[in-house]
Chain A
Amino acid sequence: NAGVMQNPRHLVRRRGQEARLRCSPMKGHSHVYWYRQLPEEGLKFMVYLQKENIIDESGMPKERFSAEFPKEGPSILRIQQVVRGDSAAYFCASSPGRDLMNTEAFFGQGTRLTVV
């Protein structure tokens, strides 16, 4: 059972380009969380998705950022018209979500986005 897979591991984009970050949850997990970690800072919640549904996007910037988790395929975090301030590590976590008391979140290795 492979862990949470994120790709690419490193992504360089010029200002104004689009960044697409992918996350494949662990097998059997239907809940996905995205977090952002700025240099020397903690992990900040961005969005929580279940298959085909956005459950909580309270941490997402109102503009340029979007996320989806389709019925088939990975979850995608999309950043349009990137700016230097978007440079960060983006982590994805997945959980089965069935029993919240026992829900253990497993994290991917992250995608490190650099905007030049």
Chain B
Amino acid sequence: KQEVTQIPAALSVPEGENLVLNCSFTDSAIYNLQWFRQDPGKGLTSLLLIQSSQREQTSGRLNASLDKSSGRSTLYIAASQPGDSATYLCAVLRDKLIFGTGTRLQVFP
């Protein structure tokens, strides 16, 4: 059974810091991994998709890496801003999309 864990559960940092959010999964037989952002009381916004054959994807200040063999992914956020405050979720796809527990990020001015 696939289990997805995210560390840390919560993070509070001053504006401008570079951040690393971690995601680990127990079954490496995945098609892809997706990072999402969820604002309080809102839906999910897709940030990045990494295929199982890829090592990383970049979008603006976001960079996600994937090490399938070790069951790990990291989301790197450069020069964090207060607008980045949200919950970040990773999810792996095999026969269905399984979500991690989430990292609640707060960036203060």
The answer on A and B forming one complex is yes
Interface positions of A (Cβ within 8 A of B): 33, 35, 42-45, 48, 55-56, 91, 93, 100-110, 112
Nearest chain A residue, comparing its CB with the CB of B97: A105
| Contact B93 A100, beta carbon cutoff 8 Å | yes
Q: In the bound complex, what is the Cα–Cα distance between A32 and B18 (angstroms)?
A: 36
| Contact sample, A vs B, 20 pairs, CB 8 Å cutoff | A33-B97, A42-B100, A43-B89, A43-B91, A45-B97, A55-B95, A91-B44, A93-B44, A93-B97, A100-B31, A100-B93, A102-B51, A103-B31, A104-B34, A105-B46, A105-B93, A107-B44, A107-B45, A109-B43, A110-B42
List B residues 69-109 near A (Cβ within 8 Å): 89, 91, 93, 95-102
Chain B contact residues: over half helix, strand or loop, or mixed? Answer: strand
Instruction: Indicate whether A103 sits within 8 Å of B43 (C-beta atoms), given known contacts A42-B100, A42-B101, A45-B98.
Output: no
| Contact A108 B93, beta carbon cutoff 8 Å | no
Q: In the bound complex, what is the Cα–Cα distance between A45 and B53 (angstroms)?
A: 25
| Contact A104 B49, beta carbon cutoff 8 Å | yes
Interface size on B, residues (CB 8 A): 25
- Taking the closest CB of chain A, its distance from the CB of B49, in whole angstroms, is 5
Determine which of B45, B51, B96 lies in contact with A33 in the assembled complex, contact meaning CB atoms within 8 Å: B96
